[in-house]
Amino acid sequence: MADGCGMAGSLLLCTAAVLLLAAGGAIPPPEEAARMARFVLHNCDWGALATLSAQEGLRGRPFANIFSLSDGPPGRLSGSGVPYLYLTDMEISVQDLEINSNASLTVSLAQTPYCKKHRYDPQNPLCAHIIFCGSIVKVNDSEAGLAKKALFSRHPEMETWPKDHNWFFAKFNITNIWVLDYFGGLKIVTPEEYYSVKP
C-alpha cells in the first residue's frame, strides 16, 4: 500500500493538510512548548470545555461539553492566543459557570488534517493537544469587537443563531497551560510565556 500523498484517495486529505500548514505555518518543534500551545489553539475551531456541574444529580462532578472557539481569524499572524466563545445562559455548561466560573479547555490537532495525514491516533502525543485551566468571563464592550471578528470569521453560522437566546461573547481567562506534544510527559507553560510568542 502506498504511503503519504501518493494514493488518489488521500489526495484531498493531503491537500487540506498543506493548506493548514500554509495558513498556520509549520508545526513548532517539541522544544518550543509555548509556540506549540499557540499553534494548536489557533488551528483548532472547537474544544472540550470541562466545568464542575451545578445540575441536580451531578452537582460538583466534572462535566465536559464541546464549544466552538477562535483566537482570531484564520492566518498565521492573526491569532491573539485568547480563546473566545459565543455563549448563552440557556446552555447547560454556562449554567455551571454561573455558579463556578472555573473550567478547563482542551484543544487537539486531532480535529485538523495534520494527525490524519501522519496517521496519528488522537491519544498519540505527537497529535499535540493542549490543556488550559482558568475561568470563563464575559468580554467587556471594548473587547467585544475582537471577539466577534475572531468567532464569526471562523463560524459564520453563529450570526444566524436565534436572537432570543441572548448570546454573548466570552473568553477563557488562562491561568495554567499544559502541553502534550511528545512522549515523556506534559510540559508546563506559563501564561506569560504563552502570550509572548507567536504561533
- Bridging pattern class, strands 46-52 and 168-180: unpaired
Domain 33-196 has CATH 2.30.110.10: yes
- The DSSP bridge partners found for residue 103 are 134
Instruction: Provide the 3-class DSSP secondary structure of residue 53.
Output: coil
The pLDDT score that the predictor gives to residue 76 is 78
72 torsion bin: left (phi>0), alpha (psi -120 to 50), beta (else): left
What is the per-residue pLDDT for 187? Answer: 98
**pLDDT given for residue 15 in this prediction:** 35
pLDDT by residue (tens digit) across 122-137? 999 999 999 999 999 9
pTM, two decimals, is 0.86
Residue segments in the chain with a per-residue pLDDT below the cut of 70? 1-25
> Which three cell numbers, joined as nine digits, stand for 126?
505527537
* pLDDT of amino acid 77: 74
Other CB atoms closer than 10 Å to residue 10's CB: what's the count? Answer: 16
Residue 198: what pLDDT?
Answer: 80
Give the pLDDT score at 170.
Answer: 98
Rounded-to-10 torsion of CA 121, 125, 127, 132: 120
Can you give the pLDDT at residue 9? 43
Residue 23 confidence (pLDDT) = 45
